[in-house]
Amino acid sequence: MSRLCVHTITTKHWSTEECIKRYAAADVGGITFWRYNLEGRDAAAVGRHARETGLDVVSLCRGGFFPSATAEGRQKALDDNRRCIEEAHELEAPLIVLVCGAVPGQSLEESRKQIADGIAAVLPDAEAAGVKLGIEPLHPMYADDRSAVNTMRQANDICDELGSPEMLGIAADVYHIWWDPELKHQIELTAAQKRLFAFHICDWKTPTADLLNDRGLMGEGCIPIRQISDWVDATGFKGYREVEIFSNLYWSMDQGEWLSKIKEAYGKVYV
């Protein structure tokens, strides 16, 4: 379990404090906080609390959402990303995951340009704060309003376009990228710059009842998680396997039992 990390959204009915206590008690290695975990709290204290219980703070979810139809909207996004960088710095989270954003009705081409511009604008702040930014390609079914970055190739291209700065890389989530015919190749391409910063796991259920909140537990779907994970590790990646599962079904369970199921499923993938 030393490389198992859980995203707090996976057990979203637990408070920040309960996530920390329960994950630590379950011998989970790392925790990825979501920004709602910090609301009304001292981010530095939250990070300290997690580390004192033995948990690594893996990342902060999520920055991004750069595109907007108005200059004012784009400026608000930059301001919010800078706040997110401050929070990650206080939390001592080494990484922010970027869900890049998209605006229904604005061309994907324009949104993609605004995303690259937005990342370029906040990158100096991230570098100054010692916080990495990980572009998360999102499944094409989210291209309307969540992210115009939908493939590993696009994420690699943005990193290249911005000169492949050390603090900019990719957060790869199997749910979003498993279908891609050039997935293996694009994962391999991350190796030279060591730009694969994070690896998220869950599964794709057949049928999937909801576009957002019906992700599967590892092993109950069709994603070749172990194979993709091995490709990722072959790039030199030694980080956590982060369980990030949005699921109305599992959120309605007793969250302690749910965490036990996650550990069991994780153990079966990584025997």
Phi/psi class of residue 164: alpha, beta or left (left: φ > 0; alpha: ψ in -120 to 50)?
left
Nearer to a copy of itself, 122 or 223 (CB): 223
Q: Give the list of residues 6+ apart from residue 260 with CB closer than 8 angstroms, or none.
A: 26
Least distance CB 4 / a copy of itself (angstroms): 24
The CA distance from 66 to 102, in Å, is: 8
Cα–Cα dist 228/26, whole Å? 26
CB closer to a copy of itself out of 50 and 170: 170
Which one of 26-34, 36-44, 71-79, 138-146 is the stretch in contact with a copy of itself (CB under 8 A)? 138-146
Identity of the residue, 20 or 155, whose beta carbon is nearer to a copy of itself in the bound complex = 155
H or E, element range at 97 = strand 95-99
Among 207, 238, 254, 271, binds a copy of itself (CB under 8 A): 207
For 32, 245, 271, the CA distances from 205, given in Å and listed in that order, are 24, 12, 22
Residues 6+ apart with CB under 8 A from 164: 193, 195
Interface with a copy of itself, residue 143, by CB under 8 A: yes
# chain residues binding a copy of itself, by CB under 8 A: 27
Asked whether position 224 contacts a copy of itself by CB under 8 A, the answer is: yes
Nearer to a copy of itself, 105 or 163 (CB): 105
163 binding a copy of itself? (CB under 8 A): no
Q: Contact region for a copy of itself (CB under 8 A) — 50-58, 104-112, 128-136, 193-201?
A: 104-112
Under rule CB under 8 A, residue 156 binds a copy of itself: no
Among 123, 111, 109, residue whose Cα is nearest residue 73: 111
Stretch that binds a copy of itself, among 31-39, 126-134, 219-227, 243-251 (CB under 8 A): 219-227
- Residues 252 and 214: their CA atoms lie apart, in Å, by 12
Amino acid (1-letter code) at residue 40: G
Q: Which of 87, 173, 180, 242 binds a copy of itself (CB under 8 A)?
A: 180
Q: How far is the CB of 178 from a copy of itself (least distance, A)?
A: 8
CB burial string 69-92: b at 16+ within 10 A, e below? eeeeebeebeebbbebbebbbbbb
Q: Alpha-carbon distance 123 to 168, whole Å?
A: 8
Choice from 108, 120, 162, 191 touching a copy of itself (CB under 8 A): 108
230: contact with a copy of itself by CB under 8 A: no
Q: Which stretch binds a copy of itself (CB under 8 A): 32-40, 63-71, 85-93, 146-154?
A: 146-154
Max distance between CA atoms of the chain, in angstroms, equals 50
* For a copy of itself, the closer CB: 68 or 154: 154
The DSSP call for residue 14 is S
Catalog residues that contact a copy of itself under the rule CB under 8 A: 104-105, 107-108, 112, 139-141, 143-145, 150-151, 153-154, 178-181, 204, 206-208, 211, 221-222, 224
